[in-house]
Amino acid sequence: MANLEIRLPKACYVSSSSCQWGRLANGGFMEIFDSQGNINLGEVSRRDLLRGAGALAIMGGVVSTISASPLNAMGRMPAVKKGGSLRVGVVGDIKDRLDAHWIVSIPDIVRLNVGFETLMTYDESFQPTYADGLAEEVTTTDGINWIIRVKKGIEFHDGKTLSGDDLVYSWQRLSDPKAVHSKSLRPFLNPAGVSKVDDRTVKLTLLQANSDFRVTLATYTSTIVPVGYENFGINKTQVGTGPYKLKSFTPGVESTHVRHANYWDKGKPYLDEVRILSFADTTALTNALQGGQIDAAINVPLAMLPTLKKDKKLDVYSNSAGKITPICLVIDMDPFKDVRTRQAMKMLIDRKKLLKQVLSNNGRLSNDDYSPVDPNYNANGYPMQEQDIKGALKLLSAVGFSKSNPVVFDLKAPDDDAALSGLAKAFVEQVNTASGGVVKATATTVAVGYWDTTYMAKGVNAFMTYYNPKPYFPQFSGMVFSYPETHFPEPGSQAKANYYAALAEVGPNRRAAIIKRMQKEEHERGGYIIPYFVNASDSYTKKLQGVNKRNAALPLDYYGMHFKNLWLA
């Protein structure tokens, strides 16, 4: 074997004649390469290293020899096989789009993550980290002025080196007040607040203090594009910094992405290409996986997990970081204008039964709250809402509803995620049955174009949505600014003012006190019903290697961190 070289963030080096050599990245992964530096032999987390047969001791700049613990079930370090085409299946349709900053459906997110990258990423505790991000350093002294410096030698797909001009263009495009994708940034940044410092550095001057802005830098839609980038459309050039570049795209069918030869993360990616294949529904998706037509399936039906787990050719990745599939009740539309009606809907349901019926218990209960990864999750300590039929009917009666004057609404859901349509049907059944006829709701599944024709559409007062796991602030911002699905908050509310104040507050105790007020208002007056957190589950052939089974904001650990960590054995 060659020597072991571990490159720490501050360039501490060590060698051993008995080991391969590798790099311990800033995000906590040891990457093992051959002596030419072009073959990765696996990834071991810091935790695995410390628990392994050999110990890595770092004290006073002294680093000891290590014998890395193996990752696979056989106790051996898996060897990377470069090349090959990875086929990834996802439910999609002809409305799928590809834009570095504007995404709607799950296929959009998958394709975004193949070719585009952000300045920072999340670690397994959902804290912003430089690992796998483009930034070398992000600093601020006041929460208003942010200096961002990128790593050297990052190259776009067209061969151009990433520069300060590209950073300026990217953040001006992200904060363009006329763009649909800038809603969450508008309170904090406009194009005039973006300026170039030098060829690798940009300064962002925010409209108000935001001590949590690194979270924005790690959000998967905050990607970096070259000067002049636009939404070029089908089969036109899509230029990013990611490990794969677009070769072709046919909405509703597939997209093909080929290896970026000069990718900045040395030795990666391993695959020759990644193909994203669209399927009409989850049944077709899982059939293709079991039949070997695809190598990985994103968002498999939870009801299929027992079957997929028994398949000796397949593995399952289950992410329990806090994905939600909220029921959205629009609070300024009948019959939900009166807060008592909204509260009654939350009281009528049996959350445990919904969890079992819809998810086969592949999740955990929620009290209409969100972001369980956040340190201020459920800051008020509310107990779980139990089914309270008597209390719910009392509230509905006070509003004026009865069997002769029932609560009537149609809950709409898409068919691209069984977790959404399944919950819609089960919710409607429960509230109708529990109310004894005081609620007469229906559930409608929209087969095609739900996200363009039905979601947040004028006149639609009840519908389904989903969110991948996020910390509290970006989730609140998404629900209030980017996608105001329930039209919360109500007129006269202090929710938005509290949000800005909490972001500007650097003291953790004072910030937590503000968050408690925000969460109290949402809990008591909001229009979201979130009965549980969903285990976002994916399945893939055991030939697919490099999957880090940690909790992450997106499936397959950010799709194998833009698919660059994955290979086919």
Q: Distance between CA atoms of 528 and 101, rounded to whole angstroms?
A: 26
Q: Which fold has domain 116-218?
A: Dipeptide-binding Protein; domain 1 (3.90.76)
pLDDT score at 507: 87
Phi, psi of 466 (to 5 degrees): -150, 155
Calculate mean pLDDT across residues 99-106. Answer: 83
Calculate mean pLDDT across residues 145-157. Answer: 97
Q: Tell me the pTM.
A: 0.74
Q: Which fold has domain 88-96+240-319+536-568?
A: D-Maltodextrin-Binding Protein; domain 2 (3.40.190)
* Tens digits of residue pLDDT in 4-19: 333 333 333 222 222 2
Give residue 470's identity as a one-letter amino acid code.
K
CB-neighbour burial class of residue 407 (10 A; exposed 0-12, middle 13-18, buried 19+): buried
- The correct CATH number of 322-533 out of 3.90.120.10, 3.90.1300.10, 3.40.1410.10, 3.10.105.10 is 3.10.105.10
CA distance to 158, 380, 501, per residue, from 517 (Å): 49, 9, 12
**pLDDT confidence of 391, banded at 50, 70, 90?**
very high
Contact 484, 492 (CB under 8 A): no
Q: Distance between CA atoms of 486 and 219, rounded to whole angstroms?
A: 23
Start-end of CATH 3.10.105.10 domains in the chain: 322-533
Pairing of strands 85-91, 296-297: parallel
Q: Distance between CA atoms of 115 and 119, rounded to whole angstroms?
A: 14
Start-end of CATH 3.40.190.10 domains in the chain: 88-96+240-319+536-568
* Tens digits of residue pLDDT in 203-238: 999 999 998 899 999 988 899 999 999 865 554 678
How high is the mean pLDDT of the chain? 85
Q: Does residue 36 register a pLDDT over 50?
A: no
